[in-house]
Structure 1
């Protein structure tokens, strides 16, 4: 068997919203199709992948470096020991040829997107859900079919007032979420606190709020917010400062005793290890948000999970950023703590397969081969246009 073609396209996911750092008015992403010569029902098996929101499409890097390396390789060097399926680790190593270590920026997004498509193809060739493939290969073969999810929202946008903010959060609660998220740092501290107070009026027993500064704060501001936020029982205080400012993150533990979260903008196992070594993160309460689609893909994520285990961290402390089905499968197959969800934003790439319901902030993984994209009608339509 072999990969016959890898296609990519840049697509818009723009929206008139902003967080504390960027607006999404010109946001886009890369969609990739890995086409194989394995035939099912008269059609070739195709794996699909895309990168998460917040990072732009990486078509140029794919076309100039990563896709040619895969397509120019001897097809047999990309197969597993059976010769009947692709080996994602071998494909990853092929893509990384002639790349210097360090500098984990945009190339990690390009490789992570292709890697997602490869794993989708691998699981489809096995005719299993990806979460089952992962559990069979790297765990006990018994995946967690129920996965915790929280609703990410609360962005700033023109005309937003407290009533609209409360209506948004009510809509998430009505759809079965018990944990919701709001952006902070895009307004004054006083205004952010007023918005938090408004949201808390619509949350009931057992329902919690996360807040996310998207790396906006310097040390003094991060500490100021930490002190002010300590009055609340928040699910977490997320990404207060620059993601590579480990000293700032470590400082916060002296001012904020409740859970914190960070990691979505760390793009390699090495960066994640530095966070664990120097960022003061607490394995008994804090959360790690590494996103495979932005950080070289699942092959690298497996290395990150192994590193965390060596440092005494449970995979349950990982709740990835991105809101995509790839991380849902990783959570179910490898025992992560859950996954982010965007109920209304970045469509059709966010959300779950059709018919999947949120109950008490958990979803049940459906039995769909691969990542499960074929179960989301609006998404698979876009994907199949690329592979047609």
Structure 2
């Protein structure tokens, strides 16, 4: 196998929405196209980074693209003569010191996505099938559980508008939804909690009072006092989960929260390596029978590293079913189906065209099946494919 070319660009995904921590007015994403040939075949794989992290043109141009294009055929070919994303990953990470998993993990993850897309295309199979055959004993799920992530803060958006948004998601086939909390502008803790409880109760009324169909997300804004205050108020609702209430690296404080809040906690989307994930499992007090791990392969060095993370979780008594990746993209959806994860996030109305799945694949009762499209399936999502094809 030989890397023929690597092209990169930057695509805007800006909007006026905000969560409890950041707004998305200047958000961008890196896009890449990696062309590979070998065994008489040629394929181009595509990749991009998830929302919440900015494009990485500098790191890609200065370090990771040159290393990938300079990789030898032996480095990117496995023992069966196939494209080897793990070998390519090792070539990209040459001369990188341990630690410091911030932005470089995003750059490597973008290229890793494209390499897996190309690998599956070269074999003429969907990525979920390739993953099931290589790593899951040939077993793939019939469909993935997905939930609609939204409920962002927006200028002039009140409770009525929030409820209308959630109604649209239900009409699209989702039965589980997620909304932002903790981000009411210009208010103290008491006022913010009062406002958020009104928002939560309105959405729960729409959901028939079933807290298991609603997730809430703080995006890491709270300290322990605020997290515990909200936890006490949220406990009676029995929500699907209470997401990222604390700074993602504050493991001991997560452990304290878990001692006081019995229902599920979700976190991990801002941890970008197997080692950081292991620290969370060792020291974060999370409970493998109920809590949710949201590591995003597109942001955390890609699937090569994510496979190491899944192995670590099994060694620590966690099931892959506890993993529901952040990002709402087709890459993670393939991984969820092929490796037997617990599901995947979805963005029906935001972060277009990167959020959402194939155009003609319906969501039914918060479950989505996979099309039989070689690779990740970008070609079945027209608006996204048009952006990616701009690199050709």
Corresponding residue of 1:76: 74
The answer as to whether partners of 2:75 and 2:91 remain within 8 angstroms in 1 is no
Task: Kindly provide the CA deviation profile for residues 50-100 of structure 1, in whole angstroms up to 9, marking residues without a partner as x.
Answer: 0000000011101100110111122232111133x3101100000110000
- The alignment status of 1:142 with 2:139, answered yes or no, reads yes
Query: 2:194 aligned to 179, 190, 202, which one?
Result: 190
Task: Kindly provide the CA deviation profile for residues 216-249 of structure 1, in whole angstroms up to 9, marking residues without a partner as x.
Answer: 0011111111111112121000000100000111
Q: Does the C-alpha gap of structure 1 residues 205 and 355 become closer, same or farther in structure 2, counting only changes over 3 Å?
A: farther
- The alignment status of 1:217 with 2:222, answered yes or no, reads yes
What is the alpha-carbon root mean square deviation over aligned residues? 1.3
- In the alignment, the residues of structure 2 paired with residue 334 and residue 178 of structure 1 have an alpha-carbon distance, to the nearest angstrom, of 23
How far 1:254 sits from its partner (Å)?
2.1
Corresponding residue of 1:381: 386
The answer as to whether partners of 2:71 and 2:88 remain within 8 angstroms in 1 is no
The answer as to whether partners of 1:39 and 1:45 remain within 8 angstroms in 2 is no
The answer as to whether partners of 2:150 and 2:178 remain within 8 angstroms in 1 is yes
Matches within 5 A, 1:151-300: 151-187=148-184, 188-204=192-208, 208-300=213-305
SS in 1 for 2:69: helix
The more displaced of 88-97 and 204-213 is: 204-213
The answer as to whether partners of 2:2 and 2:72 remain within 8 angstroms in 1 is no
Corresponding residue of 1:56: 54
- In the alignment, the residues of structure 1 paired with residue 318 and residue 70 of structure 2 have an alpha-carbon distance, to the nearest angstrom, of 39
Corresponding residue of 1:3: 3
The more displaced of 1-10 and 237-246 is: 1-10
The answer as to whether partners of 2:140 and 2:340 remain within 8 angstroms in 1 is yes
- In the alignment, the residues of structure 2 paired with residue 39 and residue 284 of structure 1 have an alpha-carbon distance, to the nearest angstrom, of 46
SS in 2 for 1:216: coil
Corresponding residue of 2:343: 338
The answer as to whether partners of 2:174 and 2:365 remain within 8 angstroms in 1 is yes
Corresponding residue of 1:98: 95
| Structure 2, unpaired ranges of 5+ | 185-191
- In the alignment, the residues of structure 1 paired with residue 57 and residue 204 of structure 2 have an alpha-carbon distance, to the nearest angstrom, of 42
- In the alignment, the residues of structure 1 paired with residue 75 and residue 233 of structure 2 have an alpha-carbon distance, to the nearest angstrom, of 56
How far 1:178 sits from its partner (Å)?
1.0
- In the alignment, the residues of structure 2 paired with residue 216 and residue 39 of structure 1 have an alpha-carbon distance, to the nearest angstrom, of 51
Corresponding residue of 1:66: 64
The answer as to whether partners of 1:208 and 1:233 remain within 8 angstroms in 2 is no
SS in 2 for 1:168: helix
Corresponding residue of 2:22: 22
Corresponding residue of 1:130: 127
Task: Kindly provide the CA deviation profile for residues 265-305 of structure 1, in whole angstroms up to 9, marking residues without a partner as x.
Answer: 00000000000000000000000000000000000000000
Q: Does the C-alpha gap of structure 1 residues 198 and 39 become closer, same or farther in structure 2, counting only changes over 3 Å?
A: farther
SS in 2 for 1:77: coil
SS in 2 for 1:75: coil
Task: Kindly provide the CA deviation profile for residues 25-44 of structure 1, in whole angstroms up to 9, marking residues without a partner as x.
Answer: 0000000100123599xx94
Corresponding residue of 1:89: 86
**TM-score if structure 2 supplies the norm length?**
0.96
The answer as to whether partners of 2:348 and 2:355 remain within 8 angstroms in 1 is yes
SS in 1 for 2:345: strand
- In the alignment, the residues of structure 2 paired with residue 373 and residue 205 of structure 1 have an alpha-carbon distance, to the nearest angstrom, of 37
- In the alignment, the residues of structure 2 paired with residue 142 and residue 281 of structure 1 have an alpha-carbon distance, to the nearest angstrom, of 28
- In the alignment, the residues of structure 1 paired with residue 207 and residue 331 of structure 2 have an alpha-carbon distance, to the nearest angstrom, of 29
- In the alignment, the residues of structure 2 paired with residue 95 and residue 254 of structure 1 have an alpha-carbon distance, to the nearest angstrom, of 41
- In the alignment, the residues of structure 1 paired with residue 154 and residue 317 of structure 2 have an alpha-carbon distance, to the nearest angstrom, of 41
Task: Kindly provide the CA deviation profile for residues 119-168 of structure 1, in whole angstroms up to 9, marking residues without a partner as x.
Answer: 00000000000000001000111210210000000000001011100000
